[in-house]
Structure 1
Amino acid sequence: MDVADIPAVPEWLPDHLRADGIESLYPPQAEAVERGVTEGESLVASIPTASGKTLIAELAMLSAVQRGGKALYIVPLRALASEKKAEFEAFSEYDISVGVSTGNYESSGEWLSSVDIVVATSEKVDSLVRNGAPWIDDLDCVVSDEVHLVDDPNRGPTLEVTLAKLRQRNPDLQVVALSATVGNAAELAEWLDANLVDSTWRPIELRKGVHYGQALHFDDGSKRELRVKSGEKATAAILRDTIADELDEEGNVTEEGGSALVFVNSRRNAEAAARRLASTTSKFLDGDELAALKTVADEIRGVSDTETSQDLAEAVEQGAAFHHAGLASEHRSLVEDAFRDRLLRVVCATPTLAAGVNTPSRRVIVRDWRRYDGNAGGMAPLSVLEVHQMMGRAGRPGMDPYGEAVLLANSHDELDELFERYVWADPEAVRSKLAAEPAMRTHLLATIASGFADSREGLLEFLGETLYATQTDGQARIERVMDDMLAYLRVNDFIAEEGGRLKATPLGHTVSRLYLDPMSAATVIDGLESAEDPTAMGLYHLVCRTPDMYELYLRSGEREEYTMLAYERETEFLGEFPSEFEERFDDWLSALKTARLLEDWAGEVDEDRITERYGVGPGDVRGKVDTAEWLLGAAESLAGELGLDCTVAVREAKKRVQYGVRDELIDLAGVRGVGRKRARRLFEAGIETRSDLRNAEKGVVLAALRGRRKTAENVLENAGHPEPSMEGVRPDPDAAPAAEVDGGDADEATETGDDQASLGDF
């Protein structure tokens, strides 16, 4: 289908698409148009990665805006929200406005009412519905990206319930669900009352296979020699073959080398693989590439002063990188950008990179097809859907002539098994996880509090609009789980029944608005009600015991260490102190370990020391800090709702976590651009409060901030100093930090390194 023949889209769109090199639609895109995606018809598009799902979404949203409507694009990850917003802002020249919303679950996002396209995570959309965002009722089109993630036991129920609520509030809503190829796409379409495009078409060929011995064995029965040298690992051999240029007999380049993604089963393996493969990639880099990679490596070092940051930078300098959830978001973005720019030849990643982030490559190597599964008590095979998602990253349209995805076999039997299990297999059906208790208690309260249902019958009717109902013949299980969770909500005073109608209590409304799991709220309330003069550690441990905080696990030999710590600080803990012989004691200790990490952070312990002490990455530290800040903010609201006397203590503990400082620096660290390290230097120079900073001698400030003029000017301006300019100011030598480097503007380029702000600034 020629782009000029697309119906009901803005008249400028065909020329815009042609300017991007798109003259005609891919077959799945044309099928979507034929099924009415630009004319308000709902659609499920189950098609492979890189087959044009985003353009299908854009056609739906732009046609809705053309009709005077409003569109919402739901993504599974915050990182994807930023990526999609940047893509959609290409339409700003045609007066299409785009807004993104991912944080602060307590806001109603009223400012979003004025934009044409909103990009948000499913959790944020759920919170907007709970908080009564009025523009939700004005939606004409909702796009759900990666809708197959309804199968995820943690995040799936939120996406499922959110789509059901949006459809209930807007009966004529167009829903466009974008999915990887799954085993039950027709069932998803039935749930959403949508037309279906179910296709395996790709713009470039994807060959799937298995490497065994000295050859690649492909799904079409062909083989290709790929020899592994003596002492070389198969992964390194495949990478070497991938990035080397292909030459003819006369030595002329017939095809330039490509890049590779290597999927492994753990963070540690990703880091180790990147270190090893760097020795392969470094041989293929020229001087310009090495210089560009050094610039990227310097930026990586500037993100955090941790061993993880240093290890990543060292690998990047040689053309390799690792990518996992333990990295800071800035680390991941730098790696993704350098890989897309073909500076990096290989990225070694955990399966998280397969979910949505735009990082295609010439070859995908699935090195590990098993990973540790706590429920199975050992290593368990990955699902076909996960492996196919990884494989789908092979082949960049417009850049690669083909894509290849290979698994690694160590025996002939394993070669046969991998073909049967993954290469020739169809993906599994996705299944609703809504009937699990944590999801049910959370979404039942939200459904009652936001007025979607006010009776048992009404709740069952609402649940009848979910995927779970589509996939389940009998209602017995969901009724049993629902009744148990309603009883839990009543006992904890989150809901009440009046005149035969269910309603949320004031406390229940607060819990729903705060986006808390009701069990988290019950735990926090129980702890706060037992508190007379709570310490920061007591409050950190309290929020770390909630289901909303992912605890650190106890490593071998740590049980005794944390048991001793528990008894040493027993008087600080809020709520019941379990016996060490109870089964839940280990979970209680895991919460203590997580709380001690927060205490170290709020005690100004260096980030590299924290990551080393707890065996985590900088991304983990930031994740724990962000979650603790949110939960302590919720605890402050709950304390206020219940009229408890601990509100000030909770607020102070929250501020300390937010800024990563001791008590005396809270006021100073709250100035934008100061953060934990700069606050300590200013304090030691005699500037102890925001007021002091507002009236400070500029030479003292400049010296405390290591002669960095631009930083000093920004800090003084943010503090409200009457004359923030540093022109002609010299650093006061008596106020210089002990470890001063020679100051001045020459150091400005390295400001993000040693002088990093608190993690709360990110």
Structure 2
Amino acid sequence: MDVSDVPAVPEWLPAHLRDDGIESLYPPQAEAVEAGVTEGESLVASIPTASGKTLVAQLAMFAAVNRGGKALYIVPLRALASEKRDEFAAFEQYGLSVGVSTGNYDSDGEWLAEKDVIVATSEKVDSLVRNGAPWIDQLDCVVADEVHLVDDRNRGPTLEVTLAKLRGRNPDLQVVALSATIGNADELADWLDAALVDSTWRPIELRKGVHYGQALHFDDGTQEELRVKSSEKPTAAVVRDTLADDGSTLVFVNSRRNAEAAAARLATVTSRQLDGDEMAALADVAADIREVSDTETSDDLADAVEKGAAFHHAGLASEHRALVEDAFRDRLVKCVCATPTLAAGVNTPSRRVVVRDWRRYSGEAGGMEPLSVLEVHQMMGRAGRPGLDPYGEALLLASSHDELDELFERYVWADPEPVRSKLAAEPAMRTHLLATIASGFADSRETLVEFLQQTLYATQTHESGRLETVMDDMLDYLRVNDFVEETDSGRLKATGLGHTVSRLYLDPMSAATVIDGLRAADDPSALGLYHLVARTPDMYQLYLRSGEREEYTMEAYEREDELPGSAPSEFEESRFDDWLSALKTARLLEDWADETDEDRITDRYGVGPGDIRGKVDTAEWLLGAAESLAAELDLGSATAVREAKKRVEYGVREELIDLAGVRGVGRKRARRLFAAGIQTRSELRNAEKSVVLAALRGREKTAETVLENAGHQDPSMEGVTPDPDAAPDDVDDDTETDPQTGSEDDQSSLGDF
């Protein structure tokens, strides 16, 4: 189908597509248009990666805007939201306005009302519905990217309930659901009352296979020689062979440590293929990586990148991941060793994909278990870059003939598992029940049942009454904790407290834990508050490494008076270990707020810089919620909570809170300024410029920016020389004693590795 034949889209779109080299639609895209996607018809598109799903979404959204409507693009990850925002920004030249919203869960996002296309995570959309964003009712088209994630036990229920609510609010809403791998796409299409495009077409060939011995064995029955030298691992042989044909390789492994170790080894392979220009460009990328954080992880990543390899996992800072992804897309980095986080929709295709590890540790299974077919196919779909690669190859590695046969049966020839709703899990149910009542979607048991009947779970379950049983149990929990009450007429309504909990986007159990803790402590310490929020279901705790139980048991007793609530008995092993894990998490937050250097924290707790940022962000959000709850209940701890929140937000001790709040200052610069005698925002606003310049180590641009943000009348540093008496000693290091190194175990189970 020629792009000029697509109906109902803006008149500028065909010319724009032609300028991008798109003269005609791919077959799956043409099928979507024939199914009415540009004319307001709902659609489930299950088509391979690189086959043009994003253009299907754009056609639907821009056609909706062309009709005078508004479109919403839902993504599972914040990184994807930024990526899509950058993609859609190209259309702003035609008058299209695009907005992105991912954080601040207690906002109604009023500013988004003026936008034509809104990009947001499913959690953010859910929070906007809870907070009564009026423009939600004006939506004409909603795109759900990576819709197979309704199967995810953490993110899935939110996406599922959000789609059900949006359809309930807008009966004529067009829903376009996209995925590369859905085993039961027809079921999702039935649930969404949508047409189905289920295609295996790709713009370039994807060959799937297994490397065994000295050969590649492909799904079409062919074989090709790929010899492994006597000193080589199979993965290194594949990378070497791919580089010989000017291709890139994406290697999937099962843990952070394995990703880092594999990247270090494969860097010796990639470094041999770099020319002078590439080495110079990679040196610049490595320097940028080292600037992100002063940690061993940052240094290790930079060392690998200088040689043309990299690792990628959730323990990296977001800036680390972005630098790696950009360098890989620019073909500077030749090989990336990643955990499955990189398979979740981020645009990082490569010539070859190697699924090195097809088993990973599962706490539930108590050992290693195979990855799902869906996950492996998501990884394999990254192979082949249209316009850059003549083909794509996705390979598993076998160490025996029996394993070769098993991998073909288990993954290469297998269909992905059907997507199954996880809504009936108790944490999801209690959270979404409260939100459904608080936002007015239901006001009785009967209307709750009616709403839940619109979910995917209701269409899939064969257990009679299962949904209602879980619902009734969770309703009882909400009543007991005063989040929901029944009126004299028998109606259900959220209490004032329930409305606050829903608006703050808290799990009701987190709210109950925080409320109990705040009531038990009139003047809680910072550690006590960090421990309190670390005990909630909304905080993913650090686990106890080998030998740490005794250490944290002693600390729990030594600091018992600081910890709100009653500690469980040591004989209640599971509950007591959870209490200690929360204490370990709280100690990390306390170290951060005491200005302990980042590299010491990563070493002490076995985490990466991304984990620190994740814990800090979560604690900041939960403490903000705790402050709101304290005010709602008129508790005297609100001031202590606010101070603990600010300290963890800025990573500073109490005396630096005011100074660190100036944009551009941060924890280390605040300490240098304080050491130079500038202790408050007001003092910074009126400070001698020579003192500020000296405290900031002679960096004129930085000093000008800081003074401008502080409100200084004349921030210019022209002609200013640093005051030698104000030059700081090395105050970057904190005053903590050397960290306890503990065991070498890392925190590979910190959320999605």
Q: Equivalents in 2 of 1:16, 1:723: separation in Å?
A: 46
Select the residue among 558, 570, 582 that pairs with 1:568: 558
| Residues 598-625 of structure 1 deviation map (CA, whole Å, 9 limit, x = unaligned) | 0000000000100010000000000000
Select the residue among 559, 567, 572 that pairs with 1:577: 567
Overall identity of the aligned pairs, in %: 83
Select the residue among 476, 494, 498 that pairs with 1:487: 476
Partner of 1:455: 444
Q: Equivalents in 1 of 2:669, 2:8: separation in Å?
A: 56
Partner of 1:254: none
| Residues 479-519 of structure 1 deviation map (CA, whole Å, 9 limit, x = unaligned) | 11000000000000000000110000000000000000000
AA aligned to 1:736 is A
Show the 5 A alignment for 1:214-293: 214-245=214-245, 257-293=246-282
Segment drifting more, 24-33 vs 719-728: 719-728
| Residues 113-138 of structure 1 deviation map (CA, whole Å, 9 limit, x = unaligned) | 00100000000000000000000000
2:601 matches 1:589:
no
Q: Is the 8 A contact 1:181 1:198 kept in 2?
A: no
| Residues 636-681 of structure 1 deviation map (CA, whole Å, 9 limit, x = unaligned) | 0000000000100000000000000000000000001001000000
2:368 matches 1:374:
no
Segment drifting more, 672-681 vs 731-740: 731-740
Partner of 1:249: none
Partner of 2:512: 522
Q: Is the 8 A contact 1:308 1:617 kept in 2?
A: yes
Structure 2 gaps of 5+ residues are 733-753
Show the 5 A alignment for 1:590-669: 590-669=581-660
Partner of 2:120: 120
Partner of 2:408: 419
Select the residue among 525, 542, 561 that pairs with 1:535: 525
| Residues 49-93 of structure 1 deviation map (CA, whole Å, 9 limit, x = unaligned) | 111000000000000000000000000000000000000111111
Q: Is the 8 A contact 1:602 1:656 kept in 2?
A: yes
Q: Equivalents in 2 of 1:384, 1:596: separation in Å?
A: 39
SS at match of 1:196: strand
Q: Equivalents in 2 of 1:736, 1:500: separation in Å?
A: 70
Select the residue among 415, 418, 423 that pairs with 1:429: 418
Q: Equivalents in 2 of 1:298, 1:235: separation in Å?
A: 28
Show the 5 A alignment for 1:316-335: 316-335=305-324
Q: Is the 8 A contact 2:209 2:216 kept in 1?
A: yes
Structure 1 position 533, deviation (Å): 1.2
Partner of 1:152: 152
Q: Equivalents in 2 of 1:388, 1:73: separation in Å?
A: 24
Show the 5 A alignment for 1:597-746: 597-739=588-730
Partner of 1:74: 74
Q: Equivalents in 1 of 2:179, 2:440: separation in Å?
A: 30
| Residues 137-174 of structure 1 deviation map (CA, whole Å, 9 limit, x = unaligned) | 00000000000000000010000000000000000000
SS at match of 2:449: helix
Structure 1 position 740, deviation (Å): 9.6
Select the residue among 342, 355, 362 that pairs with 1:353: 342
Q: Equivalents in 2 of 1:640, 1:489: separation in Å?
A: 20
Partner of 2:297: 308
Partner of 2:543: 553
Partner of 2:41: 41
Q: Equivalents in 2 of 1:294, 1:533: separation in Å?
A: 51
Show the 5 A alignment for 1:11-22: 11-22=11-22
Structure 1 position 473, deviation (Å): 3.6
Structure 1 position 581, deviation (Å): 1.2
Q: Equivalents in 1 of 2:369, 2:16: separation in Å?
A: 47
Partner of 1:754: none
Q: Equivalents in 2 of 1:23, 1:720: separation in Å?
A: 53
Q: Is the 8 A contact 1:365 1:406 kept in 2?
A: yes
Structure 1 position 455, deviation (Å): 0.3
Structure 1 gaps of 5+ residues are 246-256, 742-762
Q: Equivalents in 2 of 1:182, 1:700: separation in Å?
A: 62
Partner of 1:197: 197
Q: Is the 8 A contact 2:84 2:119 kept in 1?
A: yes
Show the 5 A alignment for 1:20-169: 20-169=20-169
Q: Equivalents in 2 of 1:441, 1:44: separation in Å?
A: 29
Structure 1 position 472, deviation (Å): 1.6
Partner of 2:745: none
SS at match of 1:372: strand
Q: Is the 8 A contact 2:57 2:143 kept in 1?
A: yes
Q: Is the 8 A contact 2:589 2:648 kept in 1?
A: yes
Partner of 1:508: 498
AA aligned to 2:503 is R
Q: Equivalents in 2 of 1:460, 1:371: separation in Å?
A: 38
Q: Is the 8 A contact 1:552 1:594 kept in 2?
A: yes
2:178 matches 1:187:
no
TM-score by length of 2: 0.96
AA aligned to 2:650 is Y
Partner of 2:747: none
SS at match of 2:707: helix
Q: Equivalents in 2 of 1:728, 1:598: separation in Å?
A: 42
Q: Equivalents in 2 of 1:581, 1:212: separation in Å?
A: 50
Select the residue among 437, 442, 460 that pairs with 2:431: 442
Partner of 1:496: 485
Runs of 4+ in 1 over 4 A off after TM superposition: none
Q: Equivalents in 2 of 1:304, 1:441: separation in Å?
A: 39
AA aligned to 2:123 is E
Q: Equivalents in 2 of 1:235, 1:88: separation in Å?
A: 37
SS at match of 1:584: helix
Q: Equivalents in 2 of 1:723, 1:228: separation in Å?
A: 66
Q: Is the 8 A contact 1:10 1:62 kept in 2?
A: yes
Q: Is the 8 A contact 1:181 1:200 kept in 2?
A: no
AA aligned to 1:508 is G
Partner of 1:757: none
Q: Equivalents in 2 of 1:352, 1:139: separation in Å?
A: 31
Q: Equivalents in 1 of 2:331, 2:509: separation in Å?
A: 47
Q: Equivalents in 2 of 1:349, 1:740: separation in Å?
A: 36
Q: Equivalents in 2 of 1:721, 1:180: separation in Å?
A: 54
Q: Equivalents in 2 of 1:533, 1:389: separation in Å?
A: 50
AA aligned to 1:502 is L
Q: Is the 8 A contact 1:706 1:740 kept in 2?
A: no
Partner of 2:388: 399
Q: Equivalents in 2 of 1:216, 1:267: separation in Å?
A: 27
Select the residue among 447, 456, 460 that pairs with 1:467: 456
Segment drifting more, 125-134 vs 176-185: 176-185
Q: Tell me how large the CA RMSD over aligned residues is.
A: 0.8
Structure 1 position 475, deviation (Å): 4.0
AA aligned to 2:438 is A
Q: Is the 8 A contact 2:672 2:731 kept in 1?
A: no
AA aligned to 2:520 is S
